[in-house]
Copies of this chain bind each other. A is one copy, B any other.
Amino acid sequence: MPVNQFQSGRHFLQIPGPTNVPDRVLRAMDKPTIDHRGPEFAALAGRCLDGIKTIFKTQSDVIIFPASGTGAWEAALVNTLQSGDHVLMVETGHFASLWHKMANKLGVVTEFLETDWRSGADPQALATRLFEDTTHQIKAVCVVHNETSTGCTSPIAKIRAVMDDINHPALLMVDTISSLASIDYRHDEWGVDVTVAGSQKGLLLPPGLSFNAVSQKALEVARSGGMPRSYWDWDEQIQANKNGAFPYTPATNLLYGLEVAIEMLHEEGLDTVFARHDRHAQTTRNAVQAWGLEILCQNPENYSSSLTAVVVPDGHDADAFREIVLKNFNMSLGNGLAKLAGKVFRIGHLGDFNDLMLLGTLSGVEMGLSLAGIPHQRGGVETAMQTLTKS
Task: From known contacts A10-B357, A354-B7, A356-B330, infer whether A367 and B385 are also in contact, taking CB-CB under 8 Å.
Answer: yes
- Are A363 and B356 in contact, with the CB atoms below 8 A? yes
A360 to chain B, nearest CB (A): 4
Within 294-330 of A, Cβ neighbours of B (below 8 Å) are at 328-330
- Are B8 and A354 in contact, with the CB atoms below 8 A? yes
- Are A354 and B367 in contact, with the CB atoms below 8 A? no
- Are B389 and A382 in contact, with the CB atoms below 8 A? no
Q: Contacting chain B: which of A57-65, A263-271, A338-346?
A: A263-271
Contact residues in B for A96 (Cβ distance below 8 Å) = none
Closest Cβ neighbor of A371 among chain B residues: B389
Q: Which A residues are within 8 Å of any B CB, using their own CB?
A: 6-10, 12, 20, 30, 264, 267-269, 272-273, 276, 328-331, 352-357, 359-361, 363-364, 366-367, 370-371, 378-379, 381-382, 385, 388-389
Cα-based distance from A268 to B276 in the complex (angstroms): 36
Q: Given contacts A10-B357, A328-B355, could you give 4 more A-B pairs where the C-beta distance is less than 8 Å?
A: A6-B269, A9-B353, A10-B20, A329-B354
Please indicate which of the listed interface residues A7, A10, A330 has the most CB atoms of chain B within 10 Å of its own CB: A10
- Are B381 and A367 in contact, with the CB atoms below 8 A? no
Cα-based distance from A12 to B358 in the complex (angstroms): 12
- Are A364 and B356 in contact, with the CB atoms below 8 A? yes
Contact residues in B for A353 (Cβ distance below 8 Å) = 8-9
Closest Cβ neighbor of A390 among chain B residues: B370
Cα-based distance from A370 to B354 in the complex (angstroms): 18
Contact residues in B for A352 (Cβ distance below 8 Å) = 8-10
- Are B382 and A264 in contact, with the CB atoms below 8 A? no
- Are A264 and B6 in contact, with the CB atoms below 8 A? yes
